[in-house]
Structure 1
Amino acid sequence: MTKKNRAFLKWAGGKYSLIEQINQRLPGSKRLIEPFVGAGSVFLNSDFESYLLNDINPDLIEMYKIIKRKPLQFINDARHYFQPKYNNEAIYYQMRTEFNATSDVYQRALLFLYMNRHGYNGLCRYNQKGGFNVPFGRYKKPYFPEKELIFFAEKAKKATFVCKSYEKLFQYLRDDDVLYCDPPYVPLSDSANFTSYARTGFLRKDQEKLALLAENSKCCVLISNHDTALTRELYANAECDFINVARTISSKASSRKSVSEVFARFRAHSPN
């Protein structure tokens, strides 16, 4: 692959910088399944015949479905929210209130992209009542990702988008599938625990369940996570290798440190 393709969304924990390392570890197959697709960097930078892409966030998945179905209309309508007048704190909070109040799927999709590009640090966060609560980002001129949207829409012709629990995806497997799992990472410290991406958190029991499902899967599973004592325990029966990744782990830009991450590869399980 000569040219890397960026996702049209800003995304905490996105895998754009690790595409080469991930692709090196994914075996060849016809279909890639991602239970935690996020912004889709692996999808956008891999070459499979088809994709089954899942996320627990319904706003994200509904937006992807709309872009696949009517990309030109979505792009033209979304561009409206990237006029200078919408890069305003009061307008942003007005739009956020509108997003939280409406059940119109198309309008939510447009505002989801708007808030992703105008909100603080590209975060995607909801409160306990399910309300999007990311503050205004104060950017000079938010970027409208038109070319990235066009590329996504074209690649999406190969994809099926679903919104289910990660456990459900393991029920769809064929013997020759490959799974890439990028779950919410095990926190490096108690203060780093971030579980409000969707309306429910991703707890230790979920990390344990995912590892067990991967270990007993009938096809190959690759998991990314932080390198911690817990993940080393969970992935003890996998083929593990480790890389150091530059990561901002505090609010200060000067606190950019190298963090160890693990790739755990579970080979296909052959039932007795």
Structure 2
Amino acid sequence: MINSFLNYTGSKYRIMDQLIPLFPNRCDTMIDIFGGSGVVTVNYHGANNFVFNDKNEPLVILIDYVANHSIEFIEKSINKIITEYGLTDTMTHGYEYYHVSSNKGLASINKPGYLRLRRDYNNLDDPKMKPLYLYALIIFGFNNQIRFNNKGLFNNPVGKRDFNKNMREKIRAFSKKWKAKSPRIVSKDFRNIEITKGDFVYADPPYLITTATYNENGGWTTKDDQDLLDYLDHVQKKGAKFALSNVIEHKGYRNDMLIDWSKKYNVFNIANTFKNSNYHTKNLTSKEVLITNYETSI
């Protein structure tokens, strides 16, 4: 399995080995309607064509940039940003050069340059540089996360790491695999994604009964949840297949609307992974499921 170069809240990388066997063996077009980090699109091989969609426009622009530029050019550009903003480069110098240990991390050293970079990104109008600045912020940001406030400004604080070997290997592997598949990249509301017979729709929406960066401040509502279920019913009527990742129970809450709707389809339990993800709680009692409108061999 290929991991994404983005650390996106709710990423399915850790459960891809559970999901892929439950996906259709073959389809004409696979449509990832809440694409996020791209990890599902890049790891599914059963489609002739791929469509990656996400409503987060800066995220989509960044993935499109990676799809259309060489990895050598991207690395060279990030290195220039590192130099311009006085950020660390442990790949070249090691931690000893900065008089810190890997355990302590680089936050105190990078904070001034990082805050200046974040300010410049939020004020930047140049569409050619915008995705590179965003990627640099992700590299040097806390847990490599993508986080915007309700005004659309990037607001993730500085992190402990830099453009190290692991980060470089991730984007190289992702870029190579992504370019081989060449998904069509779009940024639409899921309600506006058109479906035809023979398609396979994968949906990994914000979870109504959990809290994460993507559904703070009313970012995902009960109406959105209902509209998605109606949309998937429409997929069924069109003669296409769908698989929906979701949570039916979490911290004592139940998504009764989802539970009732799922009774007409197939429900597969997925091993709990929340303790290893970016949710801000430990020792959760959660029931994660994959709901499909087709039979599988498992």
TM-score by length of 2: 0.77
Deviation at 1:113, TM superposition (A): 1.3
Report if aligned partners of 1:187, 1:194 keep a CA contact under 8 Å in 2. Answer: no
Matched residue, 1:159 = 183
Q: Per-residue displacement from partner, 1:49-86 (whole Å, max 9, x unpaired)?
A: 22100111111111122222222322321233456942
The reply to whether residue 15 of structure 1 matches residue 12 of structure 2 is yes
The reply to whether residue 221 of structure 1 matches residue 218 of structure 2 is no
Q: 1:136 to 1:260 in 2, by over 3 A?
A: same
Report if aligned partners of 1:12, 1:122 keep a CA contact under 8 Å in 2. Answer: no
Residue identity opposite 1:43 in structure 2: T
**Structure 1 residues without counterparts, runs of 5 or longer:** none
Matched residue, 1:50 = 49
Deviation at 1:131, TM superposition (A): 0.8
Q: 1:251 to 1:183 in 2, by over 3 A?
A: closer
Residue identity opposite 1:187 in structure 2: I
Q: 2:273 aligns with which of 228, 234, 246?
A: 246
Matched residue, 2:102 = none
Distance between the aligned counterparts of 1:257 and 1:136, measured in 2?
27
Deviation at 1:159, TM superposition (A): 0.8
Q: 1:98 to 1:234 in 2, by over 3 A?
A: farther
Distance between the aligned counterparts of 2:140 and 2:44, measured in 1?
28
Report if aligned partners of 2:2, 2:42 keep a CA contact under 8 Å in 1. Answer: yes
Q: 1:180 aligns with which of 195, 202, 212?
A: 202
Deviation at 1:94, TM superposition (A): 0.8
Deviation at 1:244, TM superposition (A): 2.9
Superposed counterparts of 1:1-272, under 5 Å: 4-27=1-24, 28-47=26-45, 48-71=47-70, 72-81=72-81, 85-87=86-88, 88-137=110-159, 139-143=160-164, 145-157=167-179, 158-169=182-193, 171=194, 173-188=195-210, 192=211, 194-195=213-214, 201-217=219-235, 218=238, 219-228=240-249, 229-230=254-255, 231-248=258-275, 251=280, 255-257=282-284, 259-267=286-294
Q: 1:143 to 1:30 in 2, by over 3 A?
A: farther
Deviation at 1:141, TM superposition (A): 4.2
Distance between the aligned counterparts of 1:128 and 1:250, measured in 2?
19
What SS does structure 2 have at the residue aligned with 1:61? helix
Q: Per-residue displacement from partner, 1:232-257 (whole Å, max 9, x unpaired)?
A: 134332211212313238657xx344
Q: Per-residue displacement from partner, 1:61-118 (whole Å, max 9, x unpaired)?
A: 1112222222232232123345694251111111111111112222221121122222
TM-score by length of 1: 0.84
Residue identity opposite 2:44 in structure 1: S
Distance between the aligned counterparts of 1:152 and 1:193, measured in 2?
25
Distance between the aligned counterparts of 1:227 and 1:118, measured in 2?
35
Q: 1:101 to 1:85 in 2, by over 3 A?
A: same
Distance between the aligned counterparts of 1:79 and 1:50, measured in 2?
34
Deviation at 1:120, TM superposition (A): 1.7
Distance between the aligned counterparts of 2:241 and 2:231, measured in 1?
11
Deviation at 1:164, TM superposition (A): 0.8
Distance between the aligned counterparts of 2:170 and 2:79, measured in 1?
13
What SS does structure 2 have at the residue aligned with 1:216? helix
What SS does structure 2 have at the residue aligned with 1:109? helix
Residue identity opposite 1:261 in structure 2: E
Distance between the aligned counterparts of 1:32 and 1:250, measured in 2?
28
What SS does structure 1 have at the residue aligned with 2:286? strand
Distance between the aligned counterparts of 1:168 and 1:187, measured in 2?
24
